[in-house]
Amino acid sequence: MHATPGGRVEFRILGPIEVSGLSGRIQLRVSRQSSLLTALILRANRVVSVEQLIEAVFGEDRGGPAAIYTYVSRIRRALNEVEPGGGERIVTRPTGYLLRIEPGELDVDVFRQHVERGRRAAAAGHWEDASEEYESGLTLWRDSAMVDVSSESLCRNEIARLTEERLTTLERRIAADLELGRHEDLIGELRVLAADQPLREQFWAQLMLALYRSGRAAEALDVYQQVRTMLADELGIDPGGELQRLHQAMLVNDPTLGASPAATPAVATPPVRPLPPPAQLPPDIVSFVGREDIIARVTEFLSAEPREAPPVVVFEGLPGVGKTTLAQRVAHKLRDHFPDGQLYVSLHGYSHAAPITPADVLPRFLRALGVSAEVIPLDLDEQVALYRSILADKRMLVVLDNAGSAGHVRSLIPAGEQCAVLVTCRDDLRGLTALQGARRISLDVLEPEVAVSLLATVIGDERVPAEPEAAHELARLCGYLPLALRIAAANLSSRPYREIRSYVAELRAADRLANLAIQGDEQAAVRAAFDLSYATLKPDEATLFRYLGLVPGPHFTTHAAAALFDTTVEGVRPLLEHLRIANLVQDYGSDRFHFHDLLRHYAVEQSEAMDSGEAREAAVRRLFSLHLGATVTASQIVEPNREQPEPPKDMAAVELPRLNTVAQTKAWMDAEFGDLQAALAHAAEHGPYAYGWRMAVAMGAPLALSTRFTEWVLTTQIGLECALRSDEPQGEAIMHTALGFAYLTSGHQALAIQQLGQALRGGAQFGNPEYEVGCRYTLGLANLWTGRLTEAGENLKASLELCRRHGFADQEADAIHGVGITHRYLGELDEALRWLTESVEVGRDRGGPYTHGVRLFGLGMAYRDLGRFSEALDTLAETSRIFQRLGNAFGESRSLNGLSSIYRELDRLDTAHDTARRSLALSREIKHRRTEADALNALAAVLERLDRLDESQDYYREALAVAESMGPYAYGTLEARIGLATVLRRLSRWGEAREQAEVAMSFVRTSRFRLHAGAALLALAQLELETGNPAAAAVSAEAARTVCTETGQQLGEARARQLLARLNRDPGATKETPESLFRNWK
């Protein structure tokens, strides 16, 4: 800050105390003089009493007025030196002294003027002006306010007040910049502010928002967890309401968090696309009649306000009484009252299918509410807590259809009083009344006139008045049960010229109608109505109807119907259409159909009576052959080279759905998952077990593609149950390994290793060496990922020994490859190169192009580590081409990572940057966290070389968060920490840099991960040198040189020698840079 025009003096307190003018600057060598001048400046143009000055200057020492007079005189002389007559600015008054300061001469006044102008601009929505004004004010701060003032009273009162003004202005300026869309630019600044002011929650909130709007939602959520842990550890409290609400909004992708309309795109990845409010209600029933009084009471009860808890209504009654249709009608009438959405699920509490539990429902509800699949916890209690937290302040209607018990639904009831719940159940749910205050409404059959009206709405208003007595008799024979009435009406509707009385006569002739008349058993009338509908079917239609009762799930596809009937899809379509017209099945859209559970029960009864056990067993086998064949097809599209278990010997040939692309496969799995899971649950309880566990294996790849990790783990657990009940010991072994792989891929490393260890112990009992090869190989990979290199080497070498002993040629190349990667991580690069080269040669004619690409990738990375860049480039370019031809984004992303690192060392930084960005985009497209961590590290390393240090730091931190969330992913963690140490050192953040380097070095020592030892030691050496400790720098640099010489990392050795030369500790070393030395190798 320079002296202002016109010869005025400038008074500065926003930093060290300064008074300057055209003639120079005041020099006050006594701290008490500075304290007195500061006290006068703070109360400019006002009288400051001698007592106040004594307090400011002496504090508790309590000096006398004479000393104050002496100090004032010296300050006057000092003012005369910077401005002619400047001493006259201090005016003596009877009670004290006054310092005259003109407008614009005091920096804190100018600061406040900028802040006020910024506030007015922000209030008017002029965010650019607001940001500029706030920033202009903040530039006046040269350091902490009055940083050189020793007065305790001034520090206690004035400094704290000024500091608060500065921090508040920073918050306002950042808020304006957020409105302007400068989200990514703010991240680095906000990280520093949040670290410096950890208890100031506004900075944490702004950091979360900047990350979220930059398309980095996972890191934003991680920030919340950090601050929550910090507050709990240090203060024993939770984050404040604003942070909690922001966290809640991010979990559900609240659209109000999107960037301001004034913002311009500033991020490389697109923001998370918010989901619309869930609207899951089935279509309303057009022909609904009656129940007006119940509808009125329930809608009033569910919408009444205020209330202290969410209202719950339970519709109870016998099957077919219309509980579901009434719930749908009420829910549709209440849609506008619950603008945040409507959730719906059929729980199959009384159904041929296995009941759907809260563990099945909560993941799909959470996804509908916008929660990312990777955020959904595995633990049921945590899912319930997250679900209730999301709905705490929302107006949401939850419809739980066909519940089996109070425990079936209790976990699905929200806690927020603005929500409401509708439940249908055949039995009473008194437990909900006792604990949740539910209002139970028991539904009876329809009143006779209402039942007749229902008939009229279906068969036509003109037919019922023509035969009123017959219509009333028909309603009576149907037991006034809505479902039976609709089926009977459908039969009449399909025969427009038939008289009602003729149909009634047929209904009376049914064997069980007498029981209905005497016993009051409405179910008999329903069965009679079903009988009459069934009797109208042609033989093929009737057979298909019976077989459809064997479907475990709530829905079925045309392909399922074709498999059951043992025909083609085109051959079964006309039969399904006749069943649909007869209201025996319901069209569910997208070539899918729905079976009411009463009709399913009736179909099962008919099948048991008419079909042989062999025929029924064959139909079920064909259905499961369809499920297994389709899931295997889906798995092979997602991962073409994944081996599948041998199919069951009795697997039938059926027509499979046509799946040709990954997109088709994903859509198919999303649509079919509920039915597939129902089939799996049926297989686990009733069989066929051999199909169940094989289905679970095949479902893994498509579920991983959709990042449905919770469902993948659950599916694999059910598959394990099937395997345990089968007579195939290898099935249990395979499922233990599959479950371990599901845990491993979903980021639960500890569970994965535990499960794979159990798999290995269990597999030993079966004496199947081929299984042990796969299990040890998978466990070895898990060990590699988590940095347990000793165990990794043991498992992978054991796998290789078994391959060679038993002649498992196809698996041998994989085992050799795993051993080579272990040597690479151990820093034994010459040995790694030998093994990895052998892996490529041995496997060249074995396996498909995918596995060949994987082995080539490992070889290319070994070439890179050894500094053989020409060979590395050729090898990794070939792997990239292989994976591109296969359409395998996972392999292509890894190849691009390796290529980017080589381009970086060759100083082709633009190419390295573009390649790393492509890798990151691919990894995020397939949602694979390990490749994402690698890509983030690659991009951060290039940005560091481009001197874009703040961006580099952000990407390294994101990589570290991703890698450590996996339990950890050791390679990614080390790359991130060593990279962070370098960037933080260059940003002069010595303490943080040292912490990262030392943590990395500690992990290297304990895990023997020597591949990164040289880089970690070099980072420490450079840090010691730049912080004034050359002796320690020399020790670390010499250690780095030794390690790199032993590992064969030529570039690392050159860098260590260059650093030693700077320290004059290696007289024979060249003064050239490692990069210039390396040009000959390039």
Cα dihedral 583, 543, 551, 512 sign: positive
DSSP 947: T
Report the SS3 class of residue 769: helix
Helix (H) or strand (E) holding 205: helix 201-213
Strand partners, 557: 592
Low-confidence ranges of the chain (pLDDT < 50): 1-7, 259-273, 511-525, 1067-1082
In the β-sheet with 312-316, what is the strand arrangement from edge to edge?
A: 342-346, 397-403, 420-425, 312-316, 439-442
Burial of 831 (0-12, 13-18, 19+ CB in 10 A): middle
Six token digits for residue 87: 């001493």
Contact 607, 616 (CB under 8 A): yes
Report pLDDT for 528.
Answer: 57
- For 547-597, what is each residue's pLDDT tens digit? 999 999 878 999 999 999 999 999 999 999 888 877 688 787 778 998 766
Task: Tally the C-alpha atoms within 13 A of residue 843's C-alpha that lie toward its C-beta.
Answer: 26
Main-chain phi, psi angles of 858, to 5 degrees:
-60, -40
Q: Which phi and psi angles does 20 have, rounded to 5°?
A: -140, 155
From residue 215, give the alpha-carbon distance in Å to each of 272, 573, 939.
6, 46, 16
- CA angle 821/827/831 to nearest 5° reads 65
> Strand, helix or coil at 945?
helix
pLDDT at 373: 60
**pLDDT for 229:** 80
Q: What's the DSSP call for residue 236?
A: S
Instruction: Sort 46 into a burial class: Cβ within 10 Å, 0-12 / 13-18 / 19+.
Output: exposed
Instruction: Identify the pLDDT of residue 353.
Output: 59
Confidence at residue 267, expressed as pLDDT on a 0 to 100 scale? 30
What pLDDT is stored for residue 928 in this prediction? 79
Q: 185-220 in b/e burial notation, b at 16+ Cβ within 10 A?
A: ebbbbbbebbeeeeebbbbbbbbbbbbbbbbbbbbb
Give the span between the Cα atoms of 961 and 250, in whole angstroms.
18
Integer Cα distance of 632 and 645 in angstroms: 10
Q: What phi, psi does 559 have (nearest 5°)?
A: -65, -40
Closest CA to 682 of 643, 742, 728, 627: 627
Q: Which of 188, 93, 170 is nearest to 134 (CA)?
A: 170
Cβ contact 865:1011 at 8 Å: yes
**Model confidence over 234-281: pLDDT tens digits?**
777 878 877 888 887 887 777 778 643 333 333 332 233 356 789 888
Predicted pLDDT of residue 3: 37
Determine if the peptide bond prior to 5 is cis (ω within 30°). no
Contact 1019, 985 (CB under 8 A): yes
Q: Characterize 1008-1024 residue by residue with b for buried, 16 or more Cβ atoms within 10 angstroms of its Cβ, and e for exposed.
A: bbbbbbbbbbbbbbbbb
Residues 719 and 721: their CA atoms lie apart, in Å, by 5
